[in-house]
Amino acid sequence: MNEYTLPILFGVIIGTVARILMLRTDYRQYPTYLHGKVIHVSLGFIAAALGSVAIPAIMELEFTAVTFLTVAATQFREVRNMERNTLTEVDSFELVPRGKTYIEGIAISFESRNYLVIITSFISTLVFLVWNVYYAMIAAIACLIISRILMSGSTIKDIVDIKHHQLHFEGAGLYVDNIYIMNIGLPERQEEILKYGMGFVLTPKNMNVITTIANLGQRQAILHDVSVTLGVFRDSGTPALTPLIKRDLDDGRIGIFILPQIREVDKAIKVIGAVPVLENAIRMPSESGSVKKGGNS
């Protein structure tokens, strides 16, 4: 053992713990238990080792050794590609697919969490070497808290108001409130939809949200999460029983038509509200220079 052994070991442990804390198998069942978790914990261990070794390498003036961090960045980009490819392959077998935007968001999050692990190990090892283990523990706890905060984003309930509305037909047209969903001509299908279906309207809280919830990927994410959590009354080859989201072109509201197996309004509202706002779907038209100039004129 030398003077760097304990700091490196401490950094590796803290970094691995950080990755474990950021790794959750929730209602989406991803990463899968157990093999998916083993893969990501192993990658977290490697990231923690890279972050911990970087500080001793700098202190020993082995600056060329730090270049392996660039190699790590390349490898972790492959993690994103791996997750993207895997989820894309299995998505075609879902009754209600995730959609490409949701998949890309998941893939990015898995890559970024490895970088959070590197930073956590890096800071923990640095504080250990500069001061002592007690300060290092404080720094490690702070990094873990920050990592938890960074991995959690906004959800749908933060940007819209969610209200339940009864489904109804006007002729062959299915409506949620006054929002047209689709055309159903068969009376048998209409009865099934009224019996098993539920309708909700999402009203945006500001101008930016109108564009965000209009994104097709964000809409598909809502349908997928609701169908996974509450179940879905459909099978392959039944297009009339497909959950849909349509937009009111006048005010930007969106109407949601779902066919859940658990038909509880309050629970459905909570599930819709808990859907993450996808980073790739977020738009900020109010920040546009032309919009601001137009508003000031």
202-221 pLDDT tens trace: 999 888 888 889 999 999 99
The per-residue pLDDT for 270 is: 93
Does residue 294 sit within a domain? no
Whether residue 295 is contained in a domain is answered as: no
Confidence at residue 51, expressed as pLDDT on a 0 to 100 scale: 87
Residues 171 and 124 in one domain: no
Q: Which residue has the tokens 């999050």?
A: 109
Same-domain check for residues 141 and 162: no
Task: Give the separation between CA 162 and CA 281, rounded to whole angstroms.
Answer: 19
Of 109, 133, 151, which residue is a domain's last? 151
| Domain encompassing residue 72 | 5-151
Asked if residue 297 is part of any domain, the answer here is no
- pLDDT the model gives residue 27: 55
Q: What CA–CA distance (Å, rounded) separates 242 from 65?
A: 55
**131 and 207 in a common domain:** no
Instruction: Examine the domain organization and report whether 230 and 102 are in the same domain.
Output: no
Looking at the structure, do residues 133 and 165 belong to the same domain, yes or no?
no
Q: Give every residue of the chain whose pLDDT is below 70, as ranges.
A: 1, 25-35, 65, 285-297
**What is the Cα gyration radius of the chain?**
24
Q: How far is it, in rounded angstroms, from Cα 51 to Cα 154?
A: 29
pTM: 0.82
Do 111 and 233 lie in one domain? The reply is no
Between the two ends of the chain, the Cα-to-Cα distance in Å is 70
Instruction: Check whether residue 136 and residue 189 sit in a common domain.
Output: no
**Domain-ending residue, one of 151, 166, 196:** 151
pLDDT at 21: 85
Q: Which residues contact 239 (CB under 8 A, 6 or more apart)?
A: none
**Strands, E assignment, 166-294:** 167-170, 173-176, 179-183, 198-204, 244-247, 254-258
Number of domains composing the chain: 2
> Sign of dihedral through CA atoms 12, 15, 18, 24?
negative
* Domain boundary pick from 129, 151, 173: 151
63 and 102 co-located in one domain: yes
Please check whether residues 114 and 25 belong to one and the same domain.
yes
